[in-house]
Amino acid sequence: MSSFFWVLKGIGSLASNRHKLIIAKLSTKNLESQLNEAKKLLFYHHVSIFQLVALMMYATFFDTKTSISQYLKG
State pLDDT tens for residues 9-22: 666 555 555 565 66
Quote the pLDDT of residue 36.
73
User: In the Cβ-directed half-sphere of 44, how many Cα atoms lie within 13 Å?
Assistant: 6
**pTM for the model:** 0.36
